[in-house]
A and B are shown apart, each in its own frame.
Chain A
C-alpha cells in the first residue's frame, strides 16, 4: 500500500472526498452512480501499491481512477440512463439562470468533455495536471480541451446564450 497508512488515508479521505464527489456527481449527473464510483475509486486506490509519494500524487491517481470508471460506466450505458432524468430539451432557452437548464446543457456534453471542463475551470488544473488526472498525454489534453470548449460554446450559441463567434 505504499506509504499510505491508515491514518494518512483517513486524513487524505477527509480532504478529498467532497471534492471528488462533486466532480463525479457533476460529470456523471447521477448521485447514486457517483457515490458508487467514488467508493470504487477509493477502494482501487487502496488496493494499489502507490509508486509516488505525497497527497497530490494520490489525488491525481484517485481522479484518474474515477475518470476511467466514469467513462467505463458511460460506455455501458448506465450514465446515459442517469442523464435521462435531466429534463428534455425543448425550446431554446436564452438564459441559463435556472439550475435545470445549466444541468441540461452540461449533460449534453460527453463525460470526458465534462471531466475536462470541470478539471480545467472548476479545479483550475493545468494541462499537465489534467493529463495526470485523466491518464492522457499533455498534447491530447490540449486537443480534447479545445474540442470540449468549442462544443460547449456551440451548445451555448444554439441557445442564444453566446451570440458572437
Chain B
C-alpha cells in the first residue's frame, strides 16, 4: 500500500472514503464493446501482418519514383547523345 506523508489523518480518512465511493460507482450500464480474447488476438496478428507488409513494401515505394526519374534522365541523355546522329 502506498505510504502517505502529507495529509492529516482526518483528511486522509475522508479522501480514502471518497475513493472507496468512487470504486463503488457504477458506470451507466452498457454492453461492453471490447472484443473477446480470440478476436483481439486475431486482430493484433492481422495488424502485425499489415505492418510487416508495409515495412517490406516501403523500399519499393521509395524506389519507384527514383526508378522513373532515372529512366527519364537516361532517356533524355540517350536522346541528347543520339540526336546529332539522327539529324
Contacts and interface: CB of A to CB of B under 8 A. Distances in A.
Interface stretch (A37-45, A53-61, A73-81): A37-45
Given A42-B40, A105-B18, A125 B32 contact: no
A124 interface: yes
Size bracket, chain A contacts: 35 or more
B34 A38 contact: yes
Interface string B22-53: 11011110101111111011011101100100
Interface string A123-165: 0111100100000000000100110011011001000011011
A83 to B, nearest CB: 13
Contact of B22 (A34, A47, A122, A145): A122
A125 B1 CA distance: 6
Contact of B2 (A38, A39, A43, A127): A127
A47 B44 contact: yes
12 contacts: A13-B37, A26-B25, A26-B27, A31-B27, A35-B32, A46-B41, A47-B48, A99-B26, A102-B22, A106-B25, A146-B5, A149-B15
Given A149-B15, A165-B11, 13 more contacts: A6-B38, A14-B37, A31-B27, A35-B33, A43-B40, A43-B47, A47-B47, A47-B48, A118-B23, A127-B2, A142-B5, A150-B7, A153-B7
A91 interface: no
Contacts of B40: 9, 13, 39, 42-43, 46
B11 A153 contact: yes
A153 B12 CA distance: 9
Contact of B32 (A21, A130, A152, A162): A21
A38 B37 CA distance: 12
B56 interface: no
A149 B2 CA distance: 12
A124 B23 contact: no
A96 B18 CA distance: 8
Contacts of B14: 153, 156, 161-162
A139 to B, nearest CB: 13
A50 interface: no
A25 interface: yes
A6 B26 CA distance: 31
A152 B5 CA distance: 15
A121 B5 CA distance: 15
